[in-house]
Amino acid sequence: MGYILPIDHNQYSQYQRRTIGNEKPSIFLERTFRTELKGMLHHRRYKLNDQLRKEEHGKQQERRQLKHELYTTDQTEVVKKDYAQLAKITGKGEHFSEMI
């Protein structure tokens, strides 16, 4: 069984102020802040989609230009294959056996 000392509350509060003092704890936690990840994600997606759209548009223009440049009829020439020379280069088709 404990013994309660005959001390007034004022005396104890003075003792508490003297010993503990007004020291703040060494660990201080700041308040939490709301994250804005969703907005950042939408902004990043928008930028990426815009960049992809621009790249695709540029590629389509390049394809149209190449298609126009490559397939003009006045510039194309008909090249006949020289099978004898091709056989000498590759070594295939040089000797044929006509027997089956």
Query: Is 43 within a domain?
Result: yes
> What residues make up the domain containing 64?
35-72
Query: Is 48 within a domain?
Result: yes
Query: Is 94 within a domain?
Result: no
| Contact between residue 93 and residue 86 where contact means Cβ atoms under 8 Å apart | yes
Query: Is 10 within a domain?
Result: no
Q: Specify the number of domains making up the chain.
A: 1
Query: Is 21 within a domain?
Result: no
CA distance 46 to 40: 10
Q: Which residue has the higher pLDDT, 73 or 64?
A: 64
What's the pLDDT tens digit per position in 5-42? 776 777 777 787 777 766 666 777 788 888 788 888 88
**Residue 100 — pLDDT band, cuts 50, 70, 90?**
low
Query: Is 63 within a domain?
Result: yes
Token look-up 């990043």 returns 44
CA distance 85 to 48: 52
Query: Is 42 within a domain?
Result: yes
Supply 89's token pair.
Answer: 């280069």
Percentage helix, strand, coil for the chain under 3-state DSSP, each rounded to 5:
55, 0, 45
**Residue 49 — pLDDT band, cuts 50, 70, 90?**
very high
Query: Is 80 within a domain?
Result: no
Q: What is the pTM of this model?
A: 0.33
